[in-house]
Chain A
Amino acid sequence: MERHDAIVIGAGLNGLVAAAYLARAGLDVLVLDRASAPGGIAMPYEIAPGFLLPRYALGSGGLPPRIAADLDLGRHGLRFIRADGGVTCFADGHYVANYRDGVVHRRELARHSRRDADAWTRYRRDMLRAARGLAPLLARPATGPARGLFAGLRARLSLADRLAELAPSGMADMLRLWTLPAAEFLDQYFESPHVKAHLCAAALMGGTLGPFSPMSASRLVWPWLSEAGGAMGGAPDTLMPQGGTAALVAALMTAIRAEGSAIRLEAEVTDILVKDRKVRGVELANGEAIAADVVISGLDVKRSFLSLFRWKDLPAGLVERVGRVRMRGVAAKVNMALDALPEFPGLPEGCPSIGGGLRLAGTIPAMERAFADWRDRIPPRDPLIDVLIPSIADPSLAPPGKHLLSAFVQFVPEELHDGPWTDESRDALRDLVTARLASVSPGIETRILACEVLLPGDIENEIGLTGGDLAYGETTLDQLFANRPFPGAGGAATPLRNFYLCSPSAHPGPFVMGGPGANAAAEVLSTRKGRG
């Protein structure tokens, strides 16, 4: 029987990161993916000949510099582009842009309210403080199951130390951030409805919380986690791989192959072989069995446990616990090929922030209504739309002069209240998105060469992501840190020996790109070392 040190199921970004770390550490790794192209949700895909964009992910954001440096991806051809972090366009013609330069960003806010421009100082301080507090938690497993008495004790003591360091005001700040709704948290800083909606919309994207849902304030912190976040006093910028996620995937593949490990595509894992409560290997759809010391799954937690194992092999209660993990689709993906750069007459010419993304939003009450629509499973009427035109910052992604548009439509239910999505409701959604785009960019509808709408259900069917939830499990406090994916986990290790999770279902979740993969590799390596 074919045998490897480690098998990674799924060639998504996290799977590739985990494989690359393990391969660098000298392990013989085999990556298996059922698709014909690697990348998982970031799978590069040609919507029309020469137009390359990630099929399911938005394609903004890159690996944290730490991971890129650890894996030496620069040597494998990866370059990054820094872009100012996005613009929000409102239906009433106003816009708020993000600039990484503090002076410019303050001037931008002062266009809406001089007082808010000044309040930015305190907001930035509180966001960076929260981000600095979170960074160490996200960089390593969150006090997972103690392997060995002292490891667990040390982890708990260090957590206690951190909590003890918090002055009463620090504790109050932490509670404020982790319990308040985003809308009310922002009220404590800003007065301009546009500034508040701009910050709020960014926090809602990809989450299952509305602006008035408790805890949604915590999502405001995530953009500040990037290591250079706000270094220049302005808004955090975004770091995008040159050549898009395709280049990122290619660099990771090169890095893995350079270490002598292999990636096998069109190889679907159907079963995980368990013997004596230990995972021993996998079985492919064609009946082939491959043995491995460890198996690392890049699939979501439900798919990993509920469809790859025979349930009787799982420890008692695990099926129920996994079943209770909440995964719900909230966003549809719209991909477009455009034959010219869309114009944005409402935005100043040459605005550098467009490269970092464009968000079409309403006021905060309108966002709450969109959220209520999603909860009531009504087809979206006024959704939040996150648009990225990656070919602005990186023209190599489309044929010369042509452009790509990648959009997330936030608050799209998996299934409608009156049954599944029909062709009409799907077309209605496409028309709504086109109309909203045309409201900020008149004439864009005449430039569309190809357009495709992927509903949460489509995402689930095509790549097997449960619910089409691109966050791999809701990101509320009960499913984060030590509770991710279920209470008591908090890392890549699972209740099954030799079986690890490296998808964003595991800590630290979708917020740190590649973070779950790096964590999984670190846990595998430390366990191997412990066993000698």
Chain B
Amino acid sequence: MVWSLIVSRNFASVLLQQDNRLDQPGSGSLTYLYFEMEEAANASISEPLDLVKLALGERVFIKLRGDRTVSGVLHAYDAHMNLVLSQVEEAVHIVDVTEDGQAMPLRVDRRQMEMLFVRGDGVILISPQQQ
């Protein structure tokens, strides 16, 4: 509760995310939540990348340059938005063009990768993923 207040003062949308998680049975251990409480109390949640910090260990959705989207469990990031993800599914959106210059319907190539580093300069957005 204390933690919710601290967060909400700074970041209302994060509060929503976390409250949902608390309501789900078996999601996140007590020690983990306690750690996050302490973290929130110590470091004020005040800049955009703090949202990413709260997503550590969680599945995130990322949109990248080059018509790509990636979903994976976030393990590390830095100020450049370089990311380390596991259990990754990448989707590449492709439009083939026929000999006579007609666009085929959009198709999606999917790839699974067990551990992936994503360079930050390709990142367009990072979003906590709703399960």
B partners with A? no
Residues of B within 8 A of A (CB): none
